[in-house]
A = this chain, B = another copy of it.
C-alpha cells in the first residue's frame, strides 16, 4: 500500500515547551491518519513529533545529519544517519508529500524554503515569516493549531 509521508521540521534543543507540545500533537495526529512521519532525527520538535507518532502506533523515520546514530534520541522506528550535514534538509523535504514547520530557526527556515523551491506544500505553525525587499509578506500557509496543520498538510497542494 502506498503510504503518505509528512516531514515535521522545527528547532532541536532550542525548541520551546509549546513548540514541543504542538509537535507531539502533530506527530500523533499524523500517525492516527496512517501517515509516515519524517524528521531530522535530533531533539526538540523532531523528537517530540517522532516519539508521539511512535506512541500512537505510527512509523517515524529519522534522517540524521551525521554519519552515525550516536547521540540521536531513540524514538523513531527507523533511524538513518545520512552524513549529509545540512544537505539532509533537502533530502528530508524532498522525500515528503508535505511539510509541517513547528517553530522557527535557521535550519527550519531552510527546510521551508527548500520545500517551496521544489514544490512541496508547506504549512507553518508558529514558524518564521518572510517579507520581500519591499516589506510585503511572502505567502506561506499559516495555521494556529496542530489539528489545522495536519488537516492542511493532508489536504494537498496548499501553496499553489
Contacts and interface: CB of A to CB of B under 8 A. Distances in A.
B77 A86 contact: no
Interface string A11-35: 0000000000000000000000000
In the assembly, how many copies of this chain are there?
A: 4
Chain A: interface residue count, which band?
35 or more
Contact of A94 (B5, B85, B103): B85
A131 B129 contact: yes
A113 B117 contact: no
Interface stretch (A44-52, A132-140, A148-156): A132-140
A78 interface: yes
A118 B85 contact: yes
Contact of A131 (B69, B79, B131): B131
